[in-house]
Structure 1
Amino acid sequence: GYGVCAYTYLNRAAAGDIAAWQASHKAWVERINATAGYRLVDPQVSDAGTRFTRIPGCLNTKGATPRTTRTLSRTPGTIWQRHVDPVAAPRPERRINGDTRLTGEQRGAIAGSLVGAWSEGNRHAVALGVAGLLAKAGVREEEAKAIVEHAAVLADDDEPGDRATAVRTSYERVRSGLPARGFMSLRELIPAETLAFIDATLQSLRGATVPGPNLPVIAYGHDGTPVFGADDPATGARVDPDPATRYDPPPEACFRGWFAEYRALMAPTTEAPDAFHLGCSLALVGMLLGRRVWTYNAGRHFPNLYVVLVGPTGRSRKDTAMDSAFVKMVGSIPRHSPITGQVYPEPFTIETGFGSGEGLLERIAAKPRLLMQLSEFSSLVLKARREAGTLLIPNVISLWQCPNRMTNITRGTETVALDPFLSIVAGTTPDTLAADMGDADLASGFANRFLLFGGNGCGPKADPPRAEPSECIRLMVSIMDTVQGAYPHPIELPRAAAAQGRWQEWYDAEYVATREDDAEARLAERLASNIQRIALIYAASEGCSEIGTAHLDAAIALGEWQWAFARKEVKRWGQELEARVESNVRLILERAPMHQAALRDRIGRAVPISMFNKVVAELEKALILGRTAEGYLLVRDWRPAA
């Protein structure tokens, strides 16, 4: 699915027996997967014999941008049939019994015994060892996954997806007859008494089928989503051990054309989620377009965006996503087009901090196309708080509209900014955003000008590859040539007739949509405006003369995706700490029951334990929370989600 092909050059004298080579090819695919320990190659792939294919030097024209086919790696020489058959012979598959059943109490006890050894730098190896030990003992794979993931949750492990992968690969290796970690490797990783306890538990259960009591177990589905179930961890309601920092990815329809290519280039190079790459790439293209294009709806809408990347500290790689777009990609713009020879204008100005409101206007007067890249969104908000009464927030609000002219008089000196164009891309965490934003920000219109892109890190990448410089240049040349060629002069992009009907349909539904409170209503006020800006960027990135239905549909999908996240976040804005703790407690327990100690860990140690206990006690007293017979806290009337 990635356009990558592996070729084997056959010795000319051995190339006649096609049927034999096809059989060898099929066995070779099986052997590759057995060696890898997972399905690296699609087993349905089978050599059909002679066919047409691209060779290096040809153009691949299937995508929006033609690409040159190239060789990634080549080993000289040819092979004979005898070279293939011994290598291709797959190992006999070992059947894992799968009859061993552990009770919920035993699964919990094994998981709990591992917590002390589940330390950073050790936990991946422990997960592999435990998974291998369970597989060799005949424990079902879904039960092994439940145990390992439960241990990860108890130990506050922030990489549950890696632990699920460790179980899967261990079971694949055992099934394939390949070496897998187990008892011997665990001797070096966990205390002897812990290993003896686990081994004794497994030995006593060999060949037994023991029904377990109805104790909650945390497990994970095939997609890595946590599952909260009873005795059978393969079923149950979906939960999130940390729902405050779990985000749905943007709809796939939002990654169209150039933006899909950008994601394909940057996603492998960083742990940043797709949502952050999308937010940054939209802002990047919007800045390259500048005031060349606009669309009209009760006023002109330009392609400048205010974007906030919202995710947990460290793992979500907000700064990395921003640097990929505004350092790596902008730095790849050549002086002129290698295709048309046209000289490119100077890129827009990028700055990393706000001064005063007056200073902002002076900077944008000197360099009208300005992007503010902020590692911390708080730097803008707190500066505005410290300098209450200054023009910083009012100017940020006004510049979002891209007025033709802005003026300011300071100490008798007039500053005039003509045709200003400002975009902002900033990063923050959910709790910091909740603490920063308040009623005044909603009432002033400051908050609703920002698009919120929520995302988690996409998993560990110890040594990610660099973005290929030639591909960075190619992508930037592609978008620069489109912008320069399609829009040599400023122009309005109207909606096409079909898109107008789609817009009317969406707007009518949005107009009568109910809002839970004033805060939500205020935050939604500029949703329509931001959707029009995004649709404009999509259309202009393709050099179109009007906004089509496909552009609008993608923009609506993105707008509604970020709105679903924003409307949840706004409920916590402006709350005092105790109120935010209560909101988080209810949010977590609405997903699934949880022990109070585990809930305390999810809330965070920065919250005083006295405050946490008080909140829980008050919610129980108000009959909002209850407890199961096993001591799990839950929201009353909680039911597993479908």
Structure 2
Amino acid sequence: MPRVLTDWLAYYVDYACQPTESPVSYHQWIGLSLLAGALQRKGFIRWGHDKIYPNMYNVIVGPSGRTRKGMAMGIGMDILNQVPGIDITAEQVTREQLIRSMAGSLKMYRDEGSSIVKNHSSVTVFSPELAVFIGQSNVAFLADLTDWYDCGGAKGTWKRETKNAGHDEIIGPFLNLIGATAPDWIQSMLPQEAIGGGFTSRVIFIVEENKRKVIPIPKVTIDHNKLRRWLIHDLIEISKSAGEFTLTPKALQAYATWYQEQENDADNGIYPIIDTRFRGYCERRATHVKKIAMLLSVGRGNSMEITEQDFDDARYMLARIEPKMDRVFGGLGSSPSAGAVHDVMRFIQSKGEVTRTEVLNIFYRDIGSSSALEIIEETLVAMKRIRAVRDTKKRETVYYATTPKKEAARVKEEEKKK
């Protein structure tokens, strides 16, 4: 039976959204991870001397219990588990166990229209609690994850010398990661020196702070169950795809124009994410776009062609989530007060207007004293993230959320009145 769905990802998002409160963005990026898990290392784009494979490191981020991360992950895992031939690892796995799991997943395949047999060791990691998978400041494991993202590079293999004069070898490595975490856990997982570096530049963080909507009583319909069967059927068909993806002439031209614009912006110090800790990610952004475009293409048909639409949709998907990505590392920094400054700023921004007393009552454990709050206040005012106004009626200071742009406009308006 041929494929049924014209756009697998769009139908998956519709399926996942119907009975759940999770944000749409969670379902979109989990859906991309499912496509990558199904395609495995059998699809690629030839880019100069390199080959770009469709594996992704996608991490959904949100407050514990609030954004329904586990629900979104569970829906995706249920679908991928129905596809034969896909190796999915357990969450609680050590570095050594994962190496053995990848080495033991070795399979053979042929590109469409070719008689040449190739090997790949493709594994997808589903980690509803990413801190359990990565551990605490596990630098060696983070280095391995960084290496595996590139799928063995030009050699196509990954080797590691062992203590007993032997070595571990993974032929055709392909690790596809979809994880979930609360922002609080990121500091324990990632050492300060790893922030913004090799591993985090390869991760796409999908950050949400609230549910999509409230659904008191979720309902699953007959049509919903039918759609699940179609999604599984088509993902099985997608898993049979193998070969090189190519960009159509229009897609190539659109990419070239976009890439040059990105480089011009970077030369002028303009980046899609202002936080300097995302510079590595910004430099790797073009690779992310190509991976996404490849997955959108395979989700829409068997042509192995990346169209201009695929490319446009890929860059728009990134652009939609990037404004919130800097919240991931908001509380991480070398200053001991960095976390408190970030938390207070986010609280005031969420409220719009709040009294100094309210802030102290909520953050006294983190701040410690009213004098410490004064320092945080001065910092946020200098950053033009808040305004601090003495309210004579309330007899205390009131904080108002703002932005550098809004504050500049307000000051300019006041000067006009004078």
The TM-score range, normalised by the shorter chain, is: 0.7 to 0.9
Give the aligned residue type for 1:521: R
SS at match of 1:359: helix
Contact (CA 8 Å) 2:86, 2:123: kept in 1 or not?
A: no
The structural deviation recorded for 1:552 is: 0.5
Deviation string, structure 1 residues 369-390 (Cα, Å, up to 9, x no partner): 211122222234434x2x55x4
Change (3 A) 1:545 1:331: closer
The structural deviation recorded for 1:438 is: 4.8
The structural deviation recorded for 1:361 is: 1.6
Change (3 A) 1:483 1:593: same
CA distance in 2, matches of 1:445, 1:540: 28
Change (3 A) 1:380 1:278: same
Q: TM-score, normalised by structure 1?
A: 0.52
Contact (CA 8 Å) 2:38, 2:80: kept in 1 or not?
A: no
Query: What does residue 305 of structure 2 align with?
Result: 546
| 1:525-604 equivalent positions in 2, closer than 5 A | 525-542=283-300, 543-576=302-335, 578-589=337-348, 592-600=352-360, 604=362
Change (3 A) 1:273 1:635: closer
Change (3 A) 1:360 1:479: closer
CA distance in 2, matches of 1:292, 1:361: 20
| 1:301-320 equivalent positions in 2, closer than 5 A | 301-320=52-71
Q: 1:408 aligns with which of 149, 157, 160?
A: 160
Query: What does residue 427 of structure 1 align with?
Result: 180
The structural deviation recorded for 1:564 is: 2.2
CA distance in 1, matches of 2:364, 2:160: 43
- Gapped runs of 5+ residues in structure 2? 106-120, 411-418
Q: TM-score, normalised by structure 2?
A: 0.78
Give the aligned residue type for 1:634: Y
CA distance in 2, matches of 1:517, 1:609: 24
The structural deviation recorded for 1:590 is: 5.4
Deviation string, structure 1 residues 63-87 (Cα, Å, up to 9, x no partner): x947xxxxxxxxxxxxxxxxxxxxx
| 1:79-90 equivalent positions in 2, closer than 5 A | none
Change (3 A) 1:361 1:350: closer
CA distance in 1, matches of 2:377, 2:275: 26
Query: What does residue 389 of structure 2 align with?
Result: 627
CA distance in 2, matches of 1:419, 1:397: 15
Contact (CA 8 Å) 1:534, 1:555: kept in 2 or not?
A: yes
Give the aligned residue type for 1:351: A
CA distance in 2, matches of 1:641, 1:497: 45
1:323 pairs with 2:74 = yes
The structural deviation recorded for 1:308 is: 0.6
Give the aligned residue type for 1:446: F
The structural deviation recorded for 1:354 is: 3.3
1:614 pairs with 2:371 = yes
CA distance in 1, matches of 2:281, 2:9: 27
The structural deviation recorded for 1:457 is: 1.6
SS at match of 1:460: coil
SS at match of 1:416: strand
| Number of aligned residue pairs | 366
Query: What does residue 212 of structure 2 align with?
Result: 458
Change (3 A) 1:354 1:576: farther
Deviation string, structure 1 residues 198-244 (Cα, Å, up to 9, x no partner): xxxxxxxxxxxxxxxxxxxxxxxxxxxxxxxxxxxxxxxxxxxxxxx
The structural deviation recorded for 1:470 is: 3.4
Change (3 A) 1:466 1:351: farther
Contact (CA 8 Å) 2:4, 2:230: kept in 1 or not?
A: no
The structural deviation recorded for 1:330 is: 2.6
Give the aligned residue type for 2:303: C
Choose 582-591 or 553-562, whichever is displaced more: 582-591
Deviation string, structure 1 residues 471-523 (Cα, Å, up to 9, x no partner): 21211112322443xx3xx3211211111111112111211332556423223
1:346 pairs with 2:85 = yes
CA distance in 1, matches of 2:346, 2:98: 39
SS at match of 1:446: helix
Give the aligned residue type for 1:347: I
Query: What does residue 293 of structure 1 align with?
Result: 43
Give the aligned residue type for 2:389: R
Give the aligned residue type for 1:523: Y
Contact (CA 8 Å) 2:332, 2:338: kept in 1 or not?
A: no
The structural deviation recorded for 1:628 is: 4.4
SS at match of 2:13: helix
Give the aligned residue type for 2:328: E
Query: What does residue 142 of structure 2 align with?
Result: 393
Q: 2:100 aligns with which of 362, 370, 376?
A: 362
Query: What does residue 337 of structure 1 align with?
Result: none
SS at match of 1:412: coil
The structural deviation recorded for 1:321 is: 0.9
CA distance in 2, matches of 1:593, 1:509: 39
Query: What does residue 495 of structure 1 align with?
Result: 247
SS at match of 1:458: coil
The structural deviation recorded for 1:598 is: 3.8
Q: Which has the higher strand share?
A: 2
Query: What does residue 24 of structure 2 align with?
Result: 274
Change (3 A) 1:550 1:615: farther
Which structure would you say has the larger Rg?
A: 1
CA distance in 2, matches of 1:278, 1:440: 31
CA distance in 2, matches of 1:635, 1:285: 41
CA distance in 2, matches of 1:433, 1:583: 14
Contact (CA 8 Å) 1:438, 1:574: kept in 2 or not?
A: no
Change (3 A) 1:359 1:570: same
Contact (CA 8 Å) 1:286, 1:305: kept in 2 or not?
A: yes
Contact (CA 8 Å) 1:483, 1:540: kept in 2 or not?
A: no
- Gapped runs of 5+ residues in structure 1? 1-63, 67-255, 334-344
Identity of aligned residues (%): 17
SS at match of 1:594: strand
CA distance in 2, matches of 1:371, 1:587: 34
Larger RCO: 1 or 2 (CA < 8 Å, sep 6+): 2
Deviation string, structure 1 residues 50-109 (Cα, Å, up to 9, x no partner): xxxxxxxxxxxxxx947xxxxxxxxxxxxxxxxxxxxxxxxxxxxxxxxxxxxxxxxxxx
Q: 2:127 aligns with which of 374, 379, 400?
A: 374
Query: What does residue 117 of structure 2 align with?
Result: none
The structural deviation recorded for 1:417 is: 1.1
CA distance in 1, matches of 2:256, 2:364: 48
CA distance in 1, matches of 2:325, 2:377: 29
Q: 1:479 aligns with which of 208, 217, 235?
A: 235
Change (3 A) 1:315 1:583: closer
Change (3 A) 1:620 1:454: closer
SS at match of 1:300: strand
